[in-house]
Amino acid sequence: MKVVFLDRFAIRAALRPLRFAHEWQEYPTTAPEQVVERLAGAEIAITNRVRFDEATIAQLPALKLIAVSATGYECIDVQACRRAGITVTNVRDWSTPAVAEHAFAMMLGIRRQLLVYRQALQAGAWQRSHFYGVLNETLPQDLYGCTLAIIGYGALGKRLEKLARAFDMQVLVADHKGMAPRAGRVAFDEALERADVLCIACPISDETRNLIDRAELARMKPTATLINTARGGIVNEQALADALRAGRLGGAGVDSLAVEPPRDGNPLLDLDLPNLIMTPHMAFASDSTLARLAERLLETVEAFVAGTPCNVVN
């Protein structure tokens, strides 16, 4: 059985041999025009972000499995795969602890004004101070006692809630936009209005694209912090940049953008604000997390070959 990993660079971890007879080929990256040639005769394709559209799939008659080495699979036309008899799988719940920790690191960095005070220190404010320390006019904010609203209550949302409880935060779980809230949840608009910190923890889809736009940002407290360690595109980036620039939002932490890498720029990248922390889609990354991803990816491929597929998305 021929197995081809199209973008091996995406997993910075060792991969053990698969536990079935196979021919293995791997490439650091694969351009769109190389996909069909590299998968000629392959029954299993492993990919992280290589795009599979209907035209590509039609040229791969031997292909039986596309194993996505990530949770998100928006790069795959899953309907076209279903029609072609190709199974698509992903890897689930491998990065949840790291992403949740990253979200809290951003919360703390913004609300405790770490970048603000780092800049003050570098500017010599402490050396010139008549006081034993340095305090700006606008004081830092605690997580203790504040309200965290979570949009998306899967594995990441639940992990965020657990960490928030440890900080003695009040936790709101938002229901779907426009829906009457179910037991244990609050209406979407109420979550926006009450949040001191709003965390995005839902997947990207047609329903969640631009879920947080100008109207939603306007509902939030001007002191609130927005954290998105989910997918780019859920928050309208121009609207968020405008709100931050105008001082209508207390701060934001962003780990992903709608278009990645942002070679043509992005309105958030144009901002130089101490209440905006951006990281280049790496919230998932740690030695232990990537090792977990590698093992679960291989287990998913082996389960398919054994006739007991798991994590099927189509």
As a whole number of angstroms, the distance between CA 284 and CA 279 comes to: 11
Q: Which member of 74, 101, 193, 260 is catalytic?
A: 260
Tens of pLDDT, residues 172-219: 999 999 999 999 999 999 999 999 999 999 999 999 999 999 999 999
Q: Which member of 281, 295, 299, 302 is catalytic?
A: 281
Are 25 and 47 in contact by the 8 Å Cβ rule? The answer is: no
Domain ranges of the chain: 2-94+288-305, 96-278
DSSP 140: -
Query: Is residue 260 annotated as part of the catalytic site, yes or no?
Result: yes
Tens of pLDDT, residues 52-102: 999 999 999 999 999 999 998 999 999 999 999 999 999 998 999 999 999
Domains 2-94+288-305 and 96-278 agree in fold: yes
Strand ranges across the sheet with 2-5: 23-26, 2-5, 44-47, 65-68, 87-89
As a whole number of angstroms, the distance between CA 215 and CA 194 comes to: 15
The pTM of the full predicted model, rounded to 2 decimals, is 0.89
Q: So what's the pLDDT on residue 72?
A: 87
- Residue 90, classed as helix, strand or coil, is coil
Name the burial class of residue 131, with classes exposed (0-12), middle (13-18) and buried (19+) by CB atoms within 10 angstroms of its CB.
exposed
Section 260-285 average pLDDT: 96
Q: So what's the pLDDT on residue 302?
A: 98
Whether 32 shows a pLDDT value over 90: the answer reads yes
Query: Is residue 281 annotated as part of the catalytic site, yes or no?
Result: yes
Q: Specify the CATH number of the domain 2-94+288-305.
A: 3.40.50.720
The residue with tokens 């121009």 is 238
Q: Name the residue among 251, 247, 108 with its Cα closest to residue 167.
A: 108
Q: Specify the CATH number of the domain 96-278.
A: 3.40.50.720
Q: Which member of 159, 185, 231, 296 is catalytic?
A: 231
Query: Is residue 26 annotated as part of the catalytic site, yes or no?
Result: no
Are 214 and 236 in contact by the 8 Å Cβ rule? The answer is: yes
What is the chain's mean pLDDT, rounded? Answer: 96
Tens of pLDDT, residues 9-28: 989 899 999 999 999 999 99
